[in-house]
Structure 1
Amino acid sequence: MTLKGCERVGSSVSATCGVEGSASRGRSVEGLSESIIEKVKRHPCYSEEAHHFFARMHVAVAPACNIQCKYCNRKYDCMNESRPGVTSELLTPEEATQKVLAVGSVIRNTTVVGIAGPGDPLANPRQTFRTFELIRQAAPDMKLCLSTNGLALPDHVDTIRELGIDHVTITINAVDPEVGQHIYRYVTWQGKLLTGIEAARLLLERQMEGMRELVKAGILIKVNSVLIPGLNDVHMADISAEVRKRGAFLHNIMPLIIADGSDFQKEGRRAALPEDVAAAQERSGAGDRLMRHCRQCRADAVGLLGEDLSGEFTKEKFRQMSAQYDPEQRKKLHMELDRRIERMSAARRAAAANLRISRTDEFLPFRVAVSTSGGNKVNLHFGHTKEFQIYEVSPTGLKFLTARKVGNYCSGIETCGEGEGRIDEIARMIADCRYVLCTRIGPGPKSALEEMGIQVVTGYGPVEQELFRLADLHAQDQVGIEA
Structure 2
Amino acid sequence: MSAPLIPISGLSVSNRQEMGETLEKGGCSASSCGSSAGPADMDPKTWAKVKDHPCYSEEAHHYFARMHVAVAPACNIQCNYCNRKYDCANESRPGVVSERLTPEQAARKVLAVAAEVPQLSVLGIAGPGDAAYDWRRTKATFDLVSEQLPDIKLCLSSNGLALPDHIDEIVEMNIDHVTITISAIYPEIGARIYPWIFYQGKRRTGLEAATILRDRQLQALEMLTERDVLVKVNSVLIPGINDDHMVEVNKAVKERGAFLHNIMPLISDPAHGTHFGLTGQRGPTAAELKKVQDDCGDGANLMRHCRQCRADAVGLLGEDRGQEFTLDKLPEVIEDAPEARDAYRAWVAEERQDRAAAAGTAEEAAAHAVDAPTLFAVCTRGSGRINLHFGKAVEFQMYEADAEGIRFVGHRRADNYCLGGYGDEDRMEEIIRVLEDVPYVLCAKIGGGPRKRLADAGIEAIDSLGEEYIETAIAAVLQQKNARTDRAAKSA
Q: TM-score, normalised by structure 2?
A: 0.87
- Distance in 1 (CA, whole Å) between partners of 2:315 and 2:421 is 28
Amino acid at match of 2:420: G
CA spacing shift, 1:476–1:322, aligned 2, 3 Å: same
Shift of 1:228: 0.9
Shift of 1:441: 3.5
Counterparts of 1:83-482 in structure 2, within 5 Å, are: 83-259=93-269, 260-286=272-298, 289-318=301-330, 320-355=331-366, 357=368, 363-414=371-422, 416-419=423-426, 422-459=427-464, 460-461=466-467, 462-477=469-484
Instruction: After superposition, give the CA deviation of every residue in 1:426-449 in whole Å (9 maximum; x if it has no partner).
Output: 222222322222234444444443
Please name the residue that 2:16 is paired with.
Answer: none
CA spacing shift, 1:287–1:170, aligned 2, 3 Å: same
Please name the residue that 1:10 is paired with.
Answer: none
Instruction: After superposition, give the CA deviation of every residue in 1:133-161 in whole Å (9 maximum; x if it has no partner).
Output: 11111111111001000000111111111
- Distance in 1 (CA, whole Å) between partners of 2:392 and 2:483 is 30
Instruction: After superposition, give the CA deviation of every residue in 1:85-112 in whole Å (9 maximum; x if it has no partner).
Output: 0111011111111111111111122111
Could you tell me whether the CA contact under 8 Å between 1:52 and 1:375 is conserved in 2?
Answer: yes
Greater relative contact order: 1 or 2 (C-alpha under 8 angstroms, separation 6 or more)? 1
Aligned to 2:320, the other structure's residue is in SS state coil
Could you tell me whether the CA contact under 8 Å between 2:365 and 2:475 is conserved in 1?
Answer: no
Q: TM-score, normalised by structure 1?
A: 0.89
Aligned to 1:296, the other structure's residue is in SS state coil
Shift of 1:75: 3.2
- Distance in 1 (CA, whole Å) between partners of 2:420 and 2:288 is 32
| Alignment gaps of 5+ in structure 2 | 1-31
Instruction: After superposition, give the CA deviation of every residue in 1:120-178 in whole Å (9 maximum; x if it has no partner).
Output: 01121110111111111111111100100000011111111111111000001111111
Instruction: After superposition, give the CA deviation of every residue in 1:451-478 in whole Å (9 maximum; x if it has no partner).
Output: 4333333331221221111121233346
CA spacing shift, 1:353–1:447, aligned 2, 3 Å: same
Shift of 1:391: 0.7
Instruction: After superposition, give the CA deviation of every residue in 1:323-357 in whole Å (9 maximum; x if it has no partner).
Output: 22133442333133122211221222233344473
Could you tell me whether the CA contact under 8 Å between 2:250 and 2:300 is conserved in 1?
Answer: no
Shift of 1:233: 1.4
* RMSD, matched Cα: 2.2
Which has the higher mean CA deviation after the structures are superposed, 389-398 or 378-387? 378-387
Amino acid at match of 1:368: F
Aligned mate of 2:55, from 23, 36, 45: 45
Shift of 1:366: 1.1
- Distance in 2 (CA, whole Å) between partners of 1:155 and 1:74 is 24
For the pair 1:28 / 2:40, whether they are aligned, the reply is yes
Identity over the aligned pairs, expressed in percent? Answer: 48
- Distance in 1 (CA, whole Å) between partners of 2:340 and 2:453 is 49
Please name the residue that 2:20 is paired with.
Answer: none
CA spacing shift, 1:443–1:347, aligned 2, 3 Å: closer
Could you tell me whether the CA contact under 8 Å between 2:442 and 2:462 is conserved in 1?
Answer: yes
Instruction: After superposition, give the CA deviation of every residue in 1:282-305 in whole Å (9 maximum; x if it has no partner).
Output: 011247811111111111111111
Quick check: which one's helix share is greater?
A: 2
Instruction: After superposition, give the CA deviation of every residue in 1:239-262 in whole Å (9 maximum; x if it has no partner).
Output: 111101110000111111114110
Could you tell me whether the CA contact under 8 Å between 2:253 and 2:300 is conserved in 1?
Answer: no
Amino acid at match of 2:361: A
Could you tell me whether the CA contact under 8 Å between 2:156 and 2:178 is conserved in 1?
Answer: yes
CA spacing shift, 1:354–1:266, aligned 2, 3 Å: closer
Could you tell me whether the CA contact under 8 Å between 2:367 and 2:405 is conserved in 1?
Answer: no
Aligned to 2:419, the other structure's residue is in SS state coil
Amino acid at match of 1:40: V
- Distance in 2 (CA, whole Å) between partners of 1:444 and 1:152 is 54
Aligned to 1:357, the other structure's residue is in SS state helix
Could you tell me whether the CA contact under 8 Å between 1:470 and 1:479 is conserved in 2?
Answer: no
- Distance in 1 (CA, whole Å) between partners of 2:356 and 2:40 is 10
Could you tell me whether the CA contact under 8 Å between 1:21 and 1:49 is conserved in 2?
Answer: no
Please name the residue that 2:27 is paired with.
Answer: none
